[in-house]
Structure 1
């Protein structure tokens, strides 16, 4: 399970770097700072899954959850969302060293 979470963290980090690179290229080309919101990036890639997520959350949880929580996430820059997801997965998969040390009996 830990290796699966680490792999998910790696994938999220790679997607964050790609999204950040695309935003930086667009920023240089436009001579202004461009940060693509997560919702716009998701809508460009797969609009049907975004609509499915909205209807699923509205039906099974509550419509206000989508309006308050998910809309806020969708307005954040895509690279920041994937960086936060990568960090969260890495923290969950992290294994601390024993307090006694490596050579303790």
Structure 2
């Protein structure tokens, strides 16, 4: 299980880096600083599920979660969201610390 979290973490971290490079190249070409938001990326990746996210959030949790939390999250830069999720997955998949006072030698 730890392997899957680490693999997903490295892939998300790489995706965040690639997204940052693409946004940087676009910023140099357009001569303005514009980042790709997470909302359009999710709409491109999940075309059938993304329109239902608002409905599910409002029905299950309430409208107070949709407007301040999820709308702000969908406006976040895609590279920051992917890199943050990748770091979280890498943290979850890390090795447990060695206990102090115990020898691992035979």
Unaligned runs of 5+ in 2: none
Partner of 2:56: 56
Give 1 or 2: higher helix fraction.
1
In structure 2, what is the Cα distance between the partners aligned to 1:48 and 1:36? 20
What TM-score do you get using the length of structure 2 for normalisation?
Answer: 0.83
User: How far apart, in 1, do the equivalents of 2:12 and 2:52 lie?
Assistant: 21
Q: Would you identify which runs of 4 or more consecutive aligned residues in structure 1 move more than 4 Å? A: none
User: 2-side partners of 1:24 and 1:41: how far apart?
Assistant: 16
TM-score, normalization by structure 1? 0.83
Equivalent positions of 1:2-17 (< 5 A) are 2-17=2-17
User: What is the distance in 1 between the residues matched to 2:50 and 2:67?
Assistant: 13
Q: What CA deviation, in whole Å up to 9, does each residue of 1:4-38 have, x standing for no partner?
A: 11121122112212211210110110112121111
Structure 1: 5+ residue stretches without partners: none
Match of 1:85 in 2: 85
Alignment of 1:37-48 (within 5 A): 37-48=37-48
Aligned-residue RMSD, C-alpha: 2.1
Which segment is superposed worse, 79-88 or 35-44? 35-44
The aligned counterpart of 2:36 is: 36
Aligned residues: 105
